[in-house]
Amino acid sequence: MDYIVGYTADERGRDAVSLAVALARRQDAKLQLVMVMPEHSPFNAVYPPERGFESILSAQLQEWLAEGLAMIPDDVTARAHVISADSQAGGLIDAAVDSGASLIIIGASSRGLRKRFNVGSVAGTLLHASPVPVALAPQGYRRLDPITRLTCAVGTRAGADEVIAVAVDSAARRKLPLRLVSLVALDPSSGADGADAAAVEAAHDHANTRLAEAAASLAAGGQVSVEVVRGSTVEEAIGALAWDEGEILLVGSSRLAQHSRLFLGVTANKILRALTVPMVVVPRSYRSDDIQSRQPERSVTKRSDAGEGRDVQPTEVSQ
Amino acid sequence: MSTTQDSPTGLSKKGLSSGSVGLLGAVVIGVSCIAPAYTLTAALGPTVAEVGVQLPAIFLVGFIPMLLVALGYRELNNAMPDAGTSFTWATRAFGPWVGWMGGWGLIAATVIVLSNLAAVAVDFFYLMLAQLTGNESLADLTLNLPLNIATTLVFVALACWVSYRGMETTKAVQYVLVGFQLLVLGWFAIAAFAHVANGTAFDATAISPDWFNPFAVESFSAFAAGVSLSIFVYWGWDVTLTMNEETKDPERTPGRAATLTVLVIVVIYLTVALATLSYAGVGDGEFGAGNVDNQGSIFAVLAGPVMGPFAILMSLTVLSSSAASLQSTFVSPARTLLAMGHYRALPASYGKISPTYKSPSYATVAAAVAASGFYVVTRIVSENALYDTITALGMMICFYYGITAMACVWYFRAVAFSNARNILLKFLAPLLGGVILLVMFVKTATDSMDPDYGSGSSIAGVGLVFILGTGVILLGAVLMVVMYRVNPAFFKGDTLRKGSAPAHVER
């Protein structure tokens, strides 16, 4: 199993490498440190023309990759390569598709003035376009020890099954305790007035039933807990939960993508800021069995399926 | 630890850049680099000031040294592909001192053009605001010195930011920009001729064969100044020649594109030049092309009377093309500075690359600071900053291109006479082109000491163009000596060695 690590020679890159190591341990996953070399379009019409910048840049990327590899402990297998693409997100997706990797790991935070924008651009693009799950390392993540618990946030709409399936499978494979959480605050109906209170309650009960069913389907020997969290904001709901240090949060992208594209980055940012533990976003229509038996020709089909699934998001809200 | 790392050659090469440019695309790139709408508005006036009605003749003659030098540039670019271009090649041929100055000349030329592009964009920005709102006083905002400087610095900063982030003009945008430029310039020319035909021209002047005779230019000084300006008008054309693997047919596309581009450009230049002269004459009346107030930016003055309500299209095309050029031109000095930092000819910080955007971070910002500084100084001390900047720019291009051409001759000396192709492309063409440009440089530099030269601005009895041009070169020389004191490694040949093309390598 391969994980793609979107490496950059800054704090964010270090966050990503740390999370990658934490995720790879216990999994025997192989890490691929990927740096994206920007492709320059000849139509940018740079003048006076030159042809040597790429070799200077390439040497610099090799140096940075060597630094990145040096951060990875001996018990984790890793290799590094440079991929040429017109965008950071595009390069990482190419790398994941080409190598049949099952996860893309990036650092989602950045410091200073550009804070928001960067989470919005690279992470945002990946969350909308990646055919495989995307793991976002929070700012300053330096934990290298294996993950200790999985939390899966699920709702009641279509798409919840996929996330639960991935979470159940993942927890079973890693022999980790699984916590299923219903964040009721995230449902559009929860913001309504008293007249909808009954509907909220019904949704609540429904969520509990679904969670219980999912829990029952988990392979014997696993630990499952169920929590329902209410809150008027994302931060409030997340803040109401207790988190283990080595925990990761699993969410489905459909849950976030009900918002507009630009808003997704902000939501991810909010969750990350409130969260302090890593978040893995699973694309809609992503099946957990793909993780274990991915065939190259199927991965292409899968990618377009996932794309269609995301495009029809708005129709789901009305269900 | 079982880590492996792919070798530098493991870089996966695919996608955009290779084999994606056809003949039309290459011509579009060529025209875009020349930016004819910007070039004409900036250079037409100063050239008329020098050579009067012989403007068409000079536009034709000016192409010759550009062609000769570009052939040499292509040979060097193939033999020593390097981000430092003129800097690296001149260092390899003549050693670190000449190389450093060659690099400085290139950086200075691009930095000067950056400041001029931004200033022209600002003029047309306010002009367009006036045309959009119908409030003519808005166009005069550009004459308000503090506001003008502030707006120009904002434009430079924006272009720097876009370039720093590695954002690029896409193919579709480039096609639209270039098509729009050619369309509007054609429109301008036809409208001007229509005014002449209808007797509504400002100063209808009959076209005469004499306009095409370069020997009719009154003095060698005027001729030299005209040629150094027309080097600037073709600056950008040679990009088509240096294209290679990015074209669909590397054997034929670059040559054909270069020919087609120069045809398109010569036709548009001559048409617009003839239209302007026929419509406005070279007198110093309100709209006359000989009026020094009109020469800094000729379309800003003439587009209104010539095109009427459609003059806003001219503002739009000059604004859009100079903004696009501003962004792409930032890449070049940044990469030369980066290469100089890389070879320790400048402090190592210039060699820094942004981890996030993979662009030359320090060097891009340095180029923006330099362009801003140059603009502020010129704007404050000059009565006609655009005019004087363009004249100084012509000088600077002659300087670094002259050095580059000579570097070609000297670097290839061992193989220059091995076959007919080498004699022509590695020896005769660059030698002739280089000599012409260096003579033009020296002549223009000497002449520009006259306080009446250019727009007539002067400091302490010395022409401003001379101060700008040689001042920038002297500043380079001083910085070079400082750099030698601080870190002599480059100057001792530790990072980039002097050499020449080995005789046994036949190309």
- Whether residues A56 and B110 touch (CB distance < 8 A) is answered with no
> Which is higher by pLDDT, A214 or B46?
B46
User: Which of A43, A87, A97 best tests the B interface by mutation, with the highest count of B CBs <10 A?
Assistant: A43
3-class SS at A280? Answer: strand
- Whether residues A64 and B355 touch (CB distance < 8 A) is answered with yes
Q: What is the ipTM of this complex?
A: 0.85
Question: Which of B5, B86, B246 minimises the CB distance to A69?
Answer: B5
pLDDT at A187: 47
> Which is higher by pLDDT, B19 or A277?
A277
Q: Which residues of chain A have a CB within 8 Å of the CB of B25?
A: 42-43
Question: Which of B88, B246, B360 minimises the CB distance to A42?
Answer: B246
pLDDT at A202: 65
Cis before A177? omega within 30 = no
Q: What does the pLDDT look like over B465-488, one tens digit per residue?
A: 999 898 999 999 999 999 999 999
Q: Mean pLDDT throughout A15-35?
A: 91
B354 inside 8 A of chain A by CB: no
Count A/B contacts: CB-CB distance under 8 Å: 163
Instruction: Identify the weakest region by mean pLDDT among A27-31, A221-225, B97-101, B346-350.
Output: A221-225
Q: Which residues of chain A have a CB within 8 Å of the CB of B168?
A: 40-41, 43-44
Percent of chain B with pLDDT over 90: 72
Give the Cα separation of B501 and B69 in Å (integer). 18
pLDDT for residue B162 is more than 70: yes
At B406, phi and psi to the nearest 5? -65, -35
> Which is higher by pLDDT, A116 or B292?
B292
B166 inside 8 A of chain A by CB: yes
Q: Mean pLDDT throughout B76-91?
A: 90
pLDDT for residue A85 is more than 50: yes
- Whether residues A81 and B358 touch (CB distance < 8 A) is answered with no
pLDDT at B409: 96
Q: How far is A222 from chain B (nearest CA, A)?
A: 32
Q: Which residue of chain B comes nearest to A76, CA vs CA? A: B1
pLDDT for residue B242 is more than 70: yes
Q: Which residues of chain A have a CB within 8 Å of the CB of B355?
A: 8-10, 13, 64
pLDDT at A286: 67
B246 inside 8 A of chain A by CB: yes
Query: What does the DSSP assignment read for B286-345?
Result: TT-TT-HHHHTSHHHHHHHHHHGGGHHHHHHHHHHHHHHHHHHHHHHHHHHHHHHHHTTS
Q: Which residues of chain A have a CB within 8 Å of the CB of B328?
A: 44-47
pLDDT at A108: 77
Task: Return the number of other C-beta atoms located less than 10 Å from residue A195's C-beta.
Answer: 7
Residues ≥6 apart with Cβ < 8 Å to B449: B462, B463, B466
Q: In whole numbers, what is the pLDDT of chain A averaged over residues?
A: 73
- Whether residues A41 and B33 touch (CB distance < 8 A) is answered with no
pTM of the model: 0.85
Q: Which residues of chain A have a CB within 8 Å of the CB of B354?
A: none
- Tokens 């000095």 correspond to B333
Q: What does the pLDDT look like over A204-219, one tens digit per residue?
A: 676 677 667 766 666 5
- Whether residues B16 and A41 touch (CB distance < 8 A) is answered with yes
Can you name the residues that pair with A248 across neighbouring β-strands?
A150
B339 inside 8 A of chain A by CB: yes
Nearest to A217 by CA among A258, A254, A172: A172
Q: How large is the angle between the packed helices B96-133 and B361-381, nearest 10 degrees?
A: 70
Q: Mean pLDDT throughout A244-250?
A: 88
Length of chain B: 507
pLDDT for residue B62 is more than 60: yes
| Structure-token pair, residue B484 | 């030698």
Q: What does the pLDDT look like over B341-390, one tens digit per residue?
A: 999 999 999 999 999 899 999 999 999 999 999 999 999 988 788 888 89
| Structure-token pair, residue B329 | 């031109």
- Tokens 């000497």 correspond to B446
pLDDT at B124: 95
3-class SS at A154? Answer: strand
Give the Cα separation of A69 and A305 in Å (integer). 34
Give the Cα separation of B148 and B485 in Å (integer). 39
Q: How far is A184 from chain B (nearest CA, A)?
A: 37
Q: Mean pLDDT throughout B386-410?
A: 93
Percent of chain A with pLDDT over 90: 22
pLDDT for residue A318 is more than 50: no
Question: Which of A60, A69, A86 minimises the CB distance to B3?
Answer: A69
- Whether residues B77 and A79 touch (CB distance < 8 A) is answered with no
Q: Which residues of chain B have a CB within 8 Å of the CB of A118?
A: 356
Q: Mean pLDDT throughout B19-43?
A: 93
HEC string of B34-64 equals: HCHHHHHHHHHHHHHHHHHHHHHHHHHHCHH
Can you name the residues that pair with B129 across neighbouring β-strands?
none
Q: In whole numbers, what is the pLDDT of chain B averaged over residues?
A: 90
Q: What does the pLDDT look like over A269-312, one tens digit per residue?
A: 666 666 778 888 887 666 554 444 433 333 332 233 333 333 32
B485 inside 8 A of chain A by CB: no
pLDDT for residue B90 is more than 60: yes
Sequence-ordered alpha helix ranges (H) in A71-159: 88-99, 115-118, 124-129
A240 inside 8 A of chain B by CB: no
Question: Which of B20, B85, B356 minimises the CB distance to A42?
Answer: B20
Angle, CA A94 vertex, CA A92 and CA A96 arms, to 5°: 70
Which range, A162-176, A276-290, B2-16, is most confident?
Answer: A162-176
Nearest to A270 by CA among A241, A240, A236: A236
Q: Mean pLDDT throughout B176-188?
A: 96
Question: Which of A49, A74, A86 minimises the CB distance to B239?
Answer: A49
pLDDT at A267: 57
Q: Which residues of chain A have a CB within 8 Å of the CB of B358?
A: 36-38, 57, 61
Q: What does the pLDDT look like over B114-155, one tens digit per residue?
A: 999 999 999 999 999 999 999 989 988 988 999 999 999 999
- Tokens 């694309």 correspond to A283
Confidence category of residue B492, pLDDT binned at 50, 70, 90 = very high
pLDDT at B458: 85
pLDDT at A157: 56
pLDDT for residue B184 is more than 90: yes
A-contacting residues in B 93-112 (Cβ below 8 Å):
106, 110
Confidence category of residue A109, pLDDT binned at 50, 70, 90 = low
pLDDT at A218: 62
pLDDT at B212: 95
Q: How far is A180 from chain B (nearest CA, A)?
A: 36
Which range, A12-16, A162-166, A270-274, is most confident?
Answer: A12-16
Q: How far is A57 from chain B (nearest CA, A)?
A: 7
A83 inside 8 A of chain B by CB: yes
Residue B259 one-letter amino acid: T
Instruction: Identify the weakest region by mean pLDDT among A152-156, B198-202, B400-404.
Output: A152-156
pLDDT at A221: 55
Q: Mean pLDDT throughout A219-225?
A: 64
> Which is higher by pLDDT, A254 or A64?
A64
A86 inside 8 A of chain B by CB: yes
> Which is higher by pLDDT, B473 or A317?
B473
B9 inside 8 A of chain A by CB: no
Judge whether A107 and A122 are in contact, CB under 8 Å.
Answer: no
pLDDT at A261: 36
A28 inside 8 A of chain B by CB: no
A258 inside 8 A of chain B by CB: no
A84 inside 8 A of chain B by CB: yes
- Whether residues A65 and B5 touch (CB distance < 8 A) is answered with yes
pLDDT at A76: 93
pLDDT at B406: 96
Angle, CA B114 vertex, CA B66 and CA B26 arms, to 5°: 50
| Structure-token pair, residue B400 | 């670094």
Sequence-ordered alpha helix ranges (H) in B85-170: 86-94, 96-133, 145-164
B-contacting residues in A 168-227 (Cβ below 8 Å):
none
B-contacting residues in A 46-75 (Cβ below 8 Å):
46-53, 55-62, 64-66, 69, 72-74
pLDDT at A127: 77
| Structure-token pair, residue B317 | 């095309």
